[in-house]
Each structure stands twice: as structure tokens, then as C-alpha cells.
């Protein structure tokens, strides 16, 4: 099937929960985005560095390499890696000091607590981040 992509924006989903990853993938395709998937931080980092997506959705708690480590390594790679928007997906509390500190250090980074958002809300936040100029 050919994707008539009107947005020309690519989202990388780095999420170890295959059900959530698949639902997000399908929703973003329907919304007209190109979508890349990774099941852990190692795979996500390699994809991000080689393919330079426009935005990264990044789970924090994952096997092999957690999201915080991946984001730190990404920010150390090059100018693109320092500036690509990252939205952290977490089950942790929104007032968790580690998350707040990581966001402050790794701008532009944002977070959403998984239990506090709908997929439609997430799509709107992504569109805001990608098309706000």
C-alpha cells in the first residue's frame, strides 16, 4: 500500500510493549506520518542516528537500554541529536525528580504519563511539536 504522506514527517516509536507500539504505529500512519519502530533503546538509538526522524516517542523503562540512557547518548551524537524533539512515555509519576531533571538537561524533551493521555491527545501534542513554526 502506498502512503500518500501529506505531512512528510517521520516519527520513531521506541517502545518495548508491542501492543502499544503497534497501536501507535497504526494511528500515526492513519494520521499521515511515516513511522519507524524500535523495541528497545539500543535498536532505537541505532535507528535514530541512521534515519534522523523528525520526532521520537521514547519509553523510559525498556530492556537492553532504557529511554533515559538512549536520550543521553542521542544528545551526545551531533547537532541533529541535540535538537530532535523527544517525547518520553512513562509509567512513572509526573513529579519524579529524575524525569524532571532529564527533561531540563535534554531539551527539547517532554513527557507524558501513559495512564494520563489518550492516543488522540498524543497525536495532537506531536502535531503541535512538529508544526508549530
pLDDT digits (tens, 9 = 90+) for 15-48: 999 999 999 999 999 999 999 999 999 999 999 9
Whole-angstrom distance, CA of residue 5 vs CA of residue 3: 5
pLDDT given for residue 89 in this prediction: 84
Which three three-digit cell numbers place residue 49? 542516528
Specify if 98 maps to a domain: yes
How would you write the chain as a 3-class SS string? CCCCCCCCCEEEEECCCHHHHHHHHHHHHHCCCEEEEECCHHHHHHHHHHHCCCEEEEECCCCCCCHHHHHHHHHCCCHHHHHCCEEEEECCCCCCHHHHHHHHHCCCEEEEEHHHCCHHHHHHHHHHHHHCC
Specify if 19 maps to a domain: yes
Whole-angstrom distance, CA of residue 45 vs CA of residue 4: 27
Specify if 5 maps to a domain: no
Does 117 score more than 90 pLDDT? no
Specify if 131 maps to a domain: no
Query: What is the Cα 67 distance to its own chain's centre?
Result: 9
Specify if 101 maps to a domain: yes
Specify if 132 maps to a domain: no
pLDDT digits (tens, 9 = 90+) for 64-97: 999 889 999 999 989 999 999 998 887 765 555 6
Does 99 score more than 60 pLDDT? no
Domain count, the chain: 1
- 6 against 25, higher pLDDT: 25
Owning domain of residue 40:
10-126
Which of 59, 50, 53 lies closest to 77 in space, CA to CA? 50
Q: Say which CATH number the domain at 32 has.
A: 3.40.50.2300
Amino acid at each position: 500500500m502506498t502512503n500518500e504522506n501529506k505531512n512528510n514527517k517521520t516519527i520513531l516509536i521506541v517502545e518495548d510493549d508491542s501492543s502499544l507500539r503497534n497501536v501507535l504505529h497504526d494511528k500515526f500512519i492513519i494520521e499521515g506520518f511515516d513511522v519507524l519502530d524500535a523495541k528497545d533503546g539500543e535498536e532505537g538509538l541505532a535507528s535514530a542516528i541512521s534515519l534522523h526522524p523528525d520526532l521520537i516517542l521514547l519509553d523510559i523503562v525498556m530492556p537492553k537500554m532504557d529511554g533515559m540512557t538512549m536520550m543521553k547518548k542521542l544528545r551526545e551524537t551531533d547537532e541533529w541529536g541535540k535538537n530532535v524533539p523527544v517525547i518520553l512515555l512513562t509509567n512513572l509519576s509526573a513529579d519524579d525528580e529524575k524525569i524532571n531533571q532529564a527533561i531540563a538537561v535534554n531539551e527539547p524533551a517532554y513527557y507524558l504519563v501513559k495512564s494520563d493521555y489518550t492516543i488522540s491527545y498524543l497525536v495532537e501534542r506531536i502535531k503541535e511539536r512538529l508544526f508549530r513554526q
